[in-house]
Amino acid sequence: MRLKNIPKTIGLIPDGNRRWSKRNNISFFEGYQQGVNKFIDFSEWCLGYGIKNLTVWALSTENLKRKSNELSILFKIYKKTALDENIIERLRQNETRLRIIGRRELLPGDLEKALENAEAKTEGYKKNVINMLIGYGGGADILYAAKEYAKTVLDKGRVIRLSLSNFSNYLISKDIPNIDLVIRTSGEMRLSGFMPLQSAYSELYFSRKLWPDFSKMDLEKALMDYSTRERRFGN
């Protein structure tokens, strides 16, 4: 497939794992595991198109209010994935760095340690990046930045002139660049607080497919749609 314009950065909201599990009469554990497996494939599809920076929303701060048994399933799957040497090796082969973005203190200690271990094993790679948002919320990110700015002002004893660019340096997500294309699955047509600053001028693509059913052809459709758009950035 030839495209005249490929996004440099993609944001992904992989929605619909629970509905997919119910529809296929399988456990949430199996459904979420299928979702994780699909993301690993998705990240490699993106690399095939030259997309080097991918941000996936794995767990929001709002998700942390779900039932404890469901959260336990998610935590177990994420820990298992982070410790899977086969997955780490795939990241290495693809020269891909994994970065964890979010409020890590909200996660169980063993999961936090496993994620940090995966980060450490890939931190030497610069070519490609996967940003995993876990314990992340857009509103919480803005609030965190405001508090960090206020703390800096108090520490220095003077007001620091703010611009949008230097305010972004206070964000939890400060290392994530502006996102060209945001893809959300399952038919939900909203961003739900996904990276409010970095997605301000993102192109949006909504797929009706539940995430585990999302295919490489569906990604191609999203990229084809993106390539037809004229980005004006407010001009």
Spatial separation of the C-alpha atoms in residues 5 and 13, rounded to whole Å: 22
Kindly give the pairing relationship between strand 96-101 and strand 181-184.
unpaired
* DSSP secondary structure code for residue 131 in this structure: E
Spatial separation of the C-alpha atoms in residues 67 and 109, rounded to whole Å: 19
Spatial separation of the C-alpha atoms in residues 45 and 42, rounded to whole Å: 5
Token readout for 149 is: 């700015």
Choosing from 24, 63, 94, 178, the catalytic residue is 63
The residue written with tokens 């992340």 in the block is 136
For residue 18, give the amino acid letter: R
118 φ, ψ (degrees, to nearest 5) = -65, -40
Token readout for 234 is: 């407010």
Spatial separation of the C-alpha atoms in residues 18 and 26, rounded to whole Å: 10
Choosing from 15, 141, 180, 218, the catalytic residue is 15
Cβ(199)–Cβ(184) below 8 Å: no
Half-sphere exposure of 29 (CA within 13 A, CB side): 8
Is 63 designated active site?
A: yes
Spatial separation of the C-alpha atoms in residues 215 and 209, rounded to whole Å: 9
Is 155 designated active site?
A: no
Active site residue ranges: 15, 63
